[in-house]
Each structure stands twice: as structure tokens, then as C-alpha cells.
Amino acid sequence: MKVIGLLKASHFGPTMLVVTITCILSLTQFSIRDSIFIAFAILLGQFVVGWSNDLIDFPKDKAAGRIKKPLVAGTITEEALRISLGIALPSALIVSLMSPLGVSGTAIHFIGLLSATAYNFKLKSTLLSVVPYIVSFGALPWAIYVAAGNTPPTWIVLGFILFASAFHFLNVIKDLESDIDQKVMGLPQVLGRKKSIAMAALLGALGIVNVALANVRI
């Protein structure tokens, strides 16, 4: 049950999506073995982000009755999650440094982690709530390409930013009312349901156009 709780607390679906995309992008610059190594480093970082999010949000999740959250459901304890987080953070740093990311890629990787953690602690409740998505997901391709001695194409960085920002506006929708009741007033909560959906659709559409234009053959 503890393993299941840890996986759920890591926000397993989005985490695996990020890791899979990382591995695919890494394959454009590195071998299969190295790409898997990089993806593992990113996985550990995602554990840090997800577990810290659930720990910080536990009081609000409990008050809102979010029983799908493992801490609220009791499938894992705060102590177990803190211990796991304490292991994951240095592990993410060590594995990232030992991976092909090296010092430069790891530095950018941890800028992304710092940004995501800032979201968990404070920025999710401000009008700047989308900024960590811009910084963290914009940093990801930079970490991979810089580690390979290259510069990422602008359309890839922009694509990461646009699609991640669209996800932010959609992801908040399910808890919008309870967030507002608890004074968690990020940009989507301030805009409201309809405008947030419209913003997500606009950003997603821009992301698709960005990718299409970058790969069109004339």
C-alpha cells in the first residue's frame, strides 16, 4: 500500500508523461542508454515535485475532502512521504550529475525543480501561478540540449511552454470551487472556469500551430 501511495502522491500520470517526453527528446541528442539515464534523473526530480506538493497541500486537501489524495485516503503517512522526499531530493541531484546531463544540464534541471517547488509553496496562490510552468518546462529542453553541447530549437522550447501552460489552466478546473473557498487564488481561479478553459484552448492551439509551422516542408 505504501508503494501505491507514493506513486499516487507523485502525480503518477503527469509524472510519467514528463518522463516519457524527456526520454524521447533525449534520443535526439543521446543514445538510448543515456536517454534512459536522463529520464531516470528527471523521474526522481518529478518525485520531489509531486511529493512536496502533496505534503504542502495536505491540510487543504483534507479540509476539502479530496479522498483521491493518498494522504487524505490514508494510503500513506506524512512521515513516510517526508522520508521518501528526503531520499529523493539528494538522489535526484546525484543521479542527475552522474547522468549525461552533467553539471550544466543538472544546473538547469534544478532551476526547473526550484521553480516547481516555488509553485507548491506559494506561487500557485498568486497571479504568477503559470510562471513556474513556463520556467520549469522551458528549462527541460535546455537541460538536455546544453548537456549535449547544443542549443534547443526555439519551436521546441516554445512548444513545451505553451502545452505546459495550457495544462496548468485545465488541471486546476477540477478543484476550482474548493480552491476559491480556501483562498487559493492563482491565475485560473481568478479568471474562472470558462475563461480558464478558453485560455487552455488558446494556448494548446498556439502550441499545435507552433509545431506545425516549425515542421512544415516548403
Amino acid at residue number 2:
K
pLDDT at residue number 65: 87
- 105 contacts 96 by C-beta, under 8 angstroms: yes
**Residue 23's closest CA among 33, 9, 8, 12?**
33
Cell of 215: 515542421
Look at residue 2 and tell me whether its pLDDT is greater than 90. no
Q: In a 3-state reduction of DSSP, which class is residue 27?
A: coil
Cell of 130: 503559470
pLDDT at residue number 209: 96
Cell of 167: 495544462
DSSP 76: S
Q: Which residue has the higher pLDDT, 4 or 105?
A: 105
CA-based angle 10:16:22, to the nearest 5? Answer: 120
The mean per-residue pLDDT over the stretch 45-58 comes to: 95
Amino acid at residue number 38:
I
- Where in the sequence is the domain holding 61, given as residue range(s)? 2-214
pLDDT at residue number 217: 62
pLDDT at residue number 99: 96
Task: Identify the helix (H) or strand (E) that includes residue 134.
Answer: helix 131-147
> pLDDT tier at 1 (50, 70, 90 boundaries)?
low
CA distance 206 to 176: 24
How many structural domains is the chain composed of?
1
What is the tens place of the pLDDT at every residue in 107-137? 999 999 999 999 999 999 999 999 999 999 9
